[in-house]
Amino acid sequence: MHASNPQTEVTAPCRWLDEQDRLVGPVLDWWCGNGSDVKYIRNAYGYDPVHSPELPKPGELFNTVLCTYVLNSIHGYFDRCILLKDAFAYLAEGGWLYVSIHRDDTTLLTDTTDEQKKQEYISRQLRLGDFTFLRSTGDTEIWGWQRPTAKKTSSFYCPECERPAGSKHHPSCSKTTML
């Protein structure tokens, strides 16, 4: 468990992500509201323009970024895109952005029960690539998106184990000679 200070106000998505060991620190709770999830998560930082207006330091990156029920309160499509673009700027390579939304928000979801169509709709709406549908809990849906890790494509790196040329290859690498 990553939790250190359980409270009754913790959101269901935060609790579920914690139970699934998906809250890999450091964690940024983007637009954290009163900060109940931030208090619950070990190694977390919260930003909210009203309750906690200090932004993370420039260049500071997080392995997990939460955006819990925020999109339900941002009604303009353009404003949602800006909010997520700003959150994405703090996401480390290989890190996860988790978006939780109330299911009754028809501005985000279609009326279909087809999960693939919902995923395509959310993906188009957020314009961040392919979100993965993770869980539905009655009135809440949790979606995740992993920021790709940049591959080292230079000839100075082994394409299998990505170690620098001239260094010892990773034991599982099939290369037996140096580049």
Q: What is the mean pLDDT of the chain?
A: 75
Give the pLDDT band (50/70/90) at residue 151.
low
Q: Are residues 59 and 136 in the same domain?
A: yes
Report whether 138 contacts 88 (CB < 8 A): no
- How do residues 37-69 score in pLDDT, each as one tens digit? 999 998 999 999 999 999 999 889 999 999 998
Q: Are residues 28 and 96 in the same domain?
A: yes
On whether residue 7 sits in a domain, the answer given is: no
Residue type, 68: T
Q: Are residues 98 and 170 in the same domain?
A: no
Residue 111 pLDDT: 46
Q: pTM for the full model?
A: 0.70
Question: CB neighbours (10 Å) of residue 46?
Answer: 23
Structural domain count of the chain = 2
Query: Which sign does the torsion angle of CA 128, 132, 136, 142 carry?
Result: negative
Domain that residue 156 falls in: 152-179
Q: Are residues 137 and 157 in the same domain?
A: no
On whether residue 1 sits in a domain, the answer given is: no
On whether residue 6 sits in a domain, the answer given is: no
Phi/psi for 86 (5° steps) reads -65, -40
